Amino acid sequence: MQVLTVAVQNIVSSADLGAATSGLSFFRAIGSVIGVAAFGAIYANSLSASVAPGSVQAYADALHNVFFAVVPLGGLAFILSWFLKEVPLRSDRVEMDAGDSHAEVPRAA
């Protein structure tokens, strides 16, 4: 996920680096929670429909259904990635002024 972090930090101004990085982390966490809940529900519903005492095959079948639900989403994400705009990385370095520890906006060196 470092590529996504670098891409987000590249397209925002230097003053907004913290907000962009924390926003990225927040939405990544929200996406993880929603994904675990949704695919956990698919797993639990598939498992309860076919479980028998001591049946390992029921667990394998339930997990198989989860993968069938994930594959179309992965394909859609792959297709959508082709429509993202390419933004070249910045070529200038940005440094904080060493004499001012309370500097709010970094200046280009």
Question: 106: which 2 tokens?
Answer: 């970094």
3-state secondary structure of 82: coil
Query: In this structure, how many other beta carbons lie within 10 angstroms of the beta carbon of residue 39?
Result: 17
Domain boundaries, given as residue ranges, for the chain = 17-87
3-state secondary structure of 31: helix
Q: Please name every residue paired with 94 in a beta bridge, in sequence order, or none if there are none.
A: 108
Whole-model pTM?
0.58
Query: What whole-number distance in Å separates Cα of residue 99 and Cα of residue 25?
Result: 31
Q: What is the pLDDT along the chain (109 residues), one digit of tens a residue?
A: 688 888 888 888 888 989 999 999 999 999 999 999 999 898 888 887 776 667 778 788 888 888 898 999 999 999 999 998 888 887 766 555 555 555 555 555 5
